[in-house]
Amino acid sequence: MGKVKNHANKGDATLITADAVRRRAPKLQSGPLDYGQLKDITGFPLKVVWIIGYTLLVKHVDDPAITPQRVSMLELIGSNPGATQSQLGAALGLSRPATTLTIDFWQDRGCVDRRTEPKDRRSFGIHLTEEGERQLADLRQKVQMSDKALTANLSEDEIAQLRALLAKIHQ
């Protein structure tokens, strides 16, 4: 399978198939080597699939600076206007310095705004700018396309099953 142009998107994004990135991830099967115990556990294929998903998103976004982690942060800011850095960092499992730098990244690109709130002047409320709203809307489409590419081999039912099983683990 090759690349397919998607016409439904305003940003002229290209759909990248999982096939195109699969070779960069460990194969687990049909390679020249035996994966031994790694074939019989859940953790290893989980990592492989996550690498495929990560790589697909990076390719769909097509800006090496915009990593999945940064996308998650912008999504979180857009979905929680006025949240503090501590809240945002905790929600993504980031240390405070890492949170500062992730928000710096989006602020440097004019996408977010640190607003001092009078009730507690130690912290900021983080908000999207208009540019941030546009960026997030664009990224949401690319995230959806990327996720669709990741699960292209699965039916709707199977995707729902997979999500339910993952939820059982992380909940």
Residues in touch with DNA (CB under 7 A): 2, 67, 69, 84-86, 93-104, 114, 119-124
Beta carbons of 129 and 111 less than 8 angstroms apart: yes
Of 52, 48, 37, 8, nearest to 142 (Cα)? Answer: 8
Least spacing, CB of residue 7 vs DNA, in Å: 18
Phi-psi region of 62 (alpha: psi -120 to 50; beta: other; left: phi over 0): left
Beta carbons of 17 and 153 less than 8 angstroms apart: no
Amino acid at 9: N
Q: Across the strands, what pairs with 114?
A: 126
Least spacing, CB of residue 157 vs DNA, in Å: 34
* Nearer residue to its own copies within complex by CB, 74 or 105: 74
> Which option in DNA, its own copies, none does residue 95 bind, with CB closer than 5 to 8 A by kind?
DNA
Quote the CA–CA distance of 49 and 59 in Å, as a whole number.
15
> Which option in DNA, its own copies, none does residue 114 bind, with CB closer than 5 to 8 A by kind?
DNA
DSSP letters, 39-61, are GG-SHHHHHHHHHHHHHHHHHHH
> Which option in its own copies, DNA, none does residue 7 bind, with CB closer than 5 to 8 A by kind?
none
> Which option in DNA, its own copies, none does residue 45 bind, with CB closer than 5 to 8 A by kind?
its own copies
Residues of this chain that bind its own copies (CB under 8 A)? 18, 22, 24-29, 31-38, 41-54, 57, 68, 72, 75-76, 78-80, 83, 87-88, 90-93, 140, 143-144, 146-147, 150-151, 153-154, 158-159, 161-163, 165-171
